[in-house]
Every structure is written in C-alpha cells, then in structure tokens.
Amino acid sequence: MKNDLTLRSAIDLLKKGEITSADLVEKYLGSIDRDNKKLNAFLTVNEKALEKAKAINNRPNDEKPLLGVPIAIKDIFLTKGLRTTASSKLLDDYIPQYSATVVRLLEDAGAIILGKTNLDAWCHGSSTETSDYGPTRNPWNLDHVPGGSSGGSAAAVAGDLAICAMGTETAGSVRGPAAWCGIVGLKPTYGRVSRYGVIAMGSSLDSPGPLTKNVEDSALLLNVIAGNDPYDATTSALKSDDYTKFLKKGVKGLKIGLAEDYLLPQMDEEVKNLVKNTAKVFEKLGAKVEIAKTLDPRLAIPVYTVVQRSEVSSNLARFDGIRYGNGREYFSEEAKRRIMLGTFSLSTGYQDKYYKKAQKVRTLFIENFALVFKKFDLLIGPTMPGPAPKIGVTEGQAMFGEMADVLTEPTSISGLPGISVPCGFVGGLPVGLNIFGPQFSEGLIIQTASAYEQATQWHEKVPEMIETL
C-alpha cells in the first residue's frame, strides 16, 4: 500500500478484495507506532480497532460506504467507551457514555475509529501549543507548528498516520491546519453538520469538517456527516446533497472574485503571488476572475474575540468536577483567560458595549457577503497570512490565534462554507488557497476546488518529516 493512499482508493481496494480492513488498520497502527513520537498527533489509540476490522472482514457483501476504513477523530468529539479529553488534563480520564452524531454517522457508514487526535486544549488556539499533552509537530518540518486547533488531525493525515480525519472549526481550525500541513480542509456551512456530542467552544460558530488528502475524499465524508439532526436544533432542515457529483463539473462559466482585501499589506509577497497565480489557473479552466471588494477581514478579529470568549465562558461553566472530570484548578492559563474575558464581556454594564456591538458588526459581515455573492459565485484568497511558523511562536502572544486566523474568521462568524486546498510552497512549507461561498454552497465549493486540484499537482506532494534543529 502506498503512503499516499486516499479514502477513495482505500474504498476501491476494499471492494475489490485486494486488501482487507485489518490490513488497513494494521498499516496505520504501525505508522502511529513508528511516527507518533515525532508528531504527537494521536493522544489515544483505539485498542478495539483491529478487532472491529477483523469482524468486518467477514462481511464482504455489506454495502456501507465507508465499510472497513479507519479514520482519526479530533479529541473534541465524544466517543462512547473511548477516552475523550479535549486535550485538557481536566478530562484526563473521561470516558463518554455516548458518541457525537458525527462519530455515530461515520460508524454507521462502516468506518472504524482509529484513535483520537491532539488539539489546542478546549480548541483554544491555532497551533496545538496549548494542549496539556504537548504540541503537535508539522510533518513538513518538525520544528514548525501544524496549525490548530485541529492540528493533530491535520498532522495525522499529512504524515500518513491516517487516511483521513475529522476536525472542527470555530474561526479557522479546519482550514488553517489544512493549509499549514498541505492537505484539504473543508468547513461546511454552520448547521450543515451536527454539533451534538462535540465539546462546545463557540456554540454559534462551531462547525465539524473533514481533513483529507484530496477534495474527493472530503466530498465522500461530507456525504456521510451532513444533514439534519434531531439532537441539534441548529442543524438545517435543508436536504444535504451527494457532493461527489460536483467533482468533475469544472468551473467554465463561473464568476470568481479574488478577494483583494484578503491580500493583507503585511502578508508575505510569495504567498500573495501564489494566490494570484491560482486566478490564472481558473481563467485557463474557463472561469471569469475579477477583483472583489469586501469588508476588511481584520475587522472580524474583535468580533470573533468577543463572541467566542463570551460563549467560552458559558460553555466551560459546566466543567465543575462534580459529575465527571477533575476540578476547575485543572484549567490551563489560556482557558482561564478566555473565561475571564468572556465573563467580563457579558457582565452588567459591558454587555451592550462589547457583546451586543460585536453581534451588530457580525451582522454587517453577513450582509456584506450577501451583496458580494450577488456579483460573484465564489471568492478566493489565501487561507493563512503565511506558512507555518516555528514552535514557540505563541509564547507571550495572547492573540496569536486570532491574528493567524484573520482570513478565515469573516466566513466563520458569517456561517459560510469554505475549503482550503494546497496551492504552493514558501520556504519548503505548504500554502493554502481558501475558496468560500454563500451559505449551503458546499457543492459549488467542492466543484471549484476539485477543478483546481485536477489542474495542479500540489496535493500530490508528501512530506519527509525533516527536522532543522
């Protein structure tokens, strides 16, 4: 089996009987055993994975779409009977009594949970450096961060410790690590995928999404996890689609806006040039690309900060150490900072000044995007302002995450879908292209990302796990 085994190729090999589910699980358990000490991508390995795989080997006629495929799960999803920590020592020995809807849907489709991946504790960060279990490292250069908070999932896929993985995004936590690890990260429309059983950070922002080696694999996973959930009132009643049917439609006739305001003045010129070059690719494929004016994405930073901190202060109140988990003294400094700022923003005399004002500006972003998408089918821009920085970059930088995610925060606070695909390298590190559109335009986004992917070879490059120190 090749190191670049994809979800689609694994499914095809399983159906043909050329490999077994046990073969796949053993391959990735071996990869974890060999390389996880370098990457620190997995926190928990599912000891029952191989047993489940062997049982599946005896069901050759089962037509489940993901039958026998091992998948990594960000350790923010509840997994029945399998330790879930949110990368916090507060939940060090927590074993959930039920699984998140996303996990249940994946298992119902035949997938095998390979293990749980590292993240910034409680999802508080964009580098995995706030994890109580140590930072994850970037497979392209072990001295650099993989991004976050879904950094463990992204590093596992890029480093071939997993075929694919699940993450969650609140500001840029799927697309950001996908960009910095050179893979594909899909953030669905808010409400397209259930949040039930996901340990909440920002309840009006959180969006589960897949991290994969190519666009097709993201479409395959979205087919399984998308849809209305009676356990989550924020999920949409709109019927989900077969997203694989968009993969070969091309972009001829589409009007794509190059988001000029997302090419920030302080941004690395090489990153700007890579993104501008993607416009040329789309034009050659038959799309019309023009400069698009939007609200300055930097205006989303204070909006996201106030809204997210406020929701954190509410969501973390339940972790009191009485019914489960350890006491609140186990909260890290980052969690305490966010709780305190959120509580302050919601306190009497300050709620109107901060929280309500942030929500008003949030509405302005939503309205501005609605106007822009009357002129353009989609927008494109860089996913992150630059390539992955070195480990230690967050030290003394309380706002690192918000600054790093500046280009994905506008779409997250607006509930819009987006996808990051590899579009080049700067200094030997990957750079991602962010493709985003109106609410529930996942099909069009997948269509556009797939066309770009088929016209380039960036997604075919794999890291060698180098270390520069």
Please give the positions annotated as active site.
Answer: 74, 149, 173
Partners of residue 433 on adjacent β-strands = 382, 421
**Cα–Cα dist 370/382, whole Å:** 20
Bridge-based pairing of strands 70-74 and 165-169 is parallel
Query: For tokens 């968009």, what's the residue?
Result: 246
**Which residue from 247, 192, 186, 238 is spatially nearest to 216, judged by alpha carbons?**
247
Q: Cβ contacts of residue 428 below 8 Å, gap of 6+? A: 140, 141
Query: What CA–CA distances, in Å, run from 150 to 5, 119, 124, 157, 359?
Result: 21, 5, 10, 11, 26
Classify 122 in phi/psi space as left (phi over 0), alpha (psi -120 to 50) or beta. Answer: left
Query: Rounded to the nearest 10 degrees, what angle do helices 101-108 and 215-225 cross at?
Result: 100
Run of H or E including 184: strand 184-187
| Cα angle: 102, vertex 108, 110; to 5 degrees | 110
Query: For tokens 């994905």, what's the residue?
Result: 408
| Cα angle: 301, vertex 417, 356; to 5 degrees | 40
Burial of 41 (0-12, 13-18, 19+ CB in 10 A): buried
- The answer to whether the Cα torsion of 215, 217, 223, 228 is positive or negative is negative
